[in-house]
Structure 1
Amino acid sequence: MLRVRDGDLDKMGLLFERYNRPLFAFFYHMTHKADASEDLVQNVFYRMLKYKHSFTGEGEFRTWMYHLARNVLNDSVKENRSFNHYDVNDVADRLGGGTLADEGLEKQQEKDFLHKAMSSLSEEHREVLILSRFQDMKYDEIAKVLNINEGTVKVRVHRALGELKRMFFTSEKKIGK
């Protein structure tokens, strides 16, 4: 990114190749909308170019990128409130099938449940789980992205995981009856 900032715009293609998939996954887990996630990724890379001068190189690039991504997401949510609606068909289309029908169905049901459960979490809980579990970010990195301290990140992750467990066991009891 330092080279892009200094005028070597060809390096932007390398950054796009390296980070477009993780950004798409972040946005998809937050919005559950494939088309919107693709648009949001493009907006992040646009902002990277627009605000390239703000990257100083003092912190990690990924932290700066996810900070931009959160701003893009927040701006989009303000403009379009439909991100909160979960679309099971959209997820099913993107997951593909397994080799055995029963095994594939079971995995699909687990994924559907996970997506529904994640959708019902508060935004702050969903966001820390996505960053820590799906984006493999360390707690100190997440703290920098969210502008909170590392202890708060740990608490949010712990509470979010506890909430997911409660949802899972509650749904198991309902299914078992």
Structure 2
Amino acid sequence: MEEKKWIKAAKKGDSQALAHLFKESYPLLVHYLMKLTLNREEAEDLAQETMTKAIEKLNQFQGKSKFSTWLISIGTKLYIDQKRRQKRADAFKAQHMRKLKWQAQSQNEDWDFLLASLGELEDELRVPIILKHYYGYAYDEIGKMLGIAEGTVKSRVHRGIKTIRKELGEDEKGPGTMENPIKQG
């Protein structure tokens, strides 16, 4: 009964009531989303997005369930939408990787495992590697392009190369050097 009073007040614009409802529901929502995402940071981001959506749609809440249940339903829909977008993005990326491979092969260019491995890296690692080792930009230039510190660029390039070498079964001292581990293309 108490929750209904808070909801009614929140719908009338009482920000204290809305804050109270969120404060009461937030821990349950985050724990639920952590079980879905298996990632605390992602769960907290999704919880924030859920709260924003709930504020936008507060007047649509009919009170047929607990407020926390309504938040969980919003969070679940947002999570499913996020996964659908990711799936489409992954399919798009795979399609373009196949297209690049076909173009390279049709022009008698090498499409080695390295390029395939690059395609598997996260963007934050792949982009600096390509800019550094395929296009020859300096670390500070890449940092400016990406809006990150030069040290972060170096770290990402190193981490990405280490990941590729591990995937290819090479150790740190394998073919190439850390300065130029990727064939120029």
* TM-score normalized with structure 2 length: 0.40
* Bigger radius of gyration among the two: 2
Structure (1/2) with the larger helix percentage: 1
Q: Specify which structure has the bigger relative contact order, considering alpha-carbon pairs within 8 angstroms and separated by 6 or more residues.
A: 1
